[in-house]
Amino acid sequence: MWDKLRERWKVRTGWDVAVILVVFACTGFSVMYSKIFLYCLLGLTAETTAWWLRVLITVTIILPLYQVLLLVWGWIFGKFDFFWEFEKRMFSRIGSLFRKK
């Protein structure tokens, strides 16, 4: 598994793979707690708020926050360049969904 990820991500060592996985984990936890904090701040709960409004807030606020936090955690762990390229690839794939062929 480590070698497969190392080849896919084009990194040199298994240690680099481990650091990248830690960055993804830290980002996920950060976004989860940020979402809880934001929902409490805005007074949004499952009982008082329509599901579509919670989804809309998640897509418009939480998704971009994830991208920023991914870069921040990548910088903290010394893998900013990897995650910057990762972000560019992801946004180019998203952009290609909206382009006409």
* Interval 23-60: pLDDT, tens: 999 999 999 999 888 888 888 887 887 888 888 888 88
Confidence class of residue 101 from pLDDT cuts 50, 70 and 90? low
Total-model pTM? 0.81
Distance CA(58)–CA(94), nearest Å, equals 17
Instruction: Please compute the mean of the pLDDT values over residues 84-97 and round it to a whole number.
Output: 82
70's tokens = 């991914």
Geometric angle at alpha carbon 73, from 82 and 64, rounded to 5°? 90
CA distance 62 to 87: 16
Q: How far is CA 47 from CA 4, 26, 39, 73, 100, in A?
A: 44, 29, 12, 33, 41
Domain extent listing, the chain: 15-98
Task: Please report the pLDDT score of residue 18 as a whole number.
Answer: 92
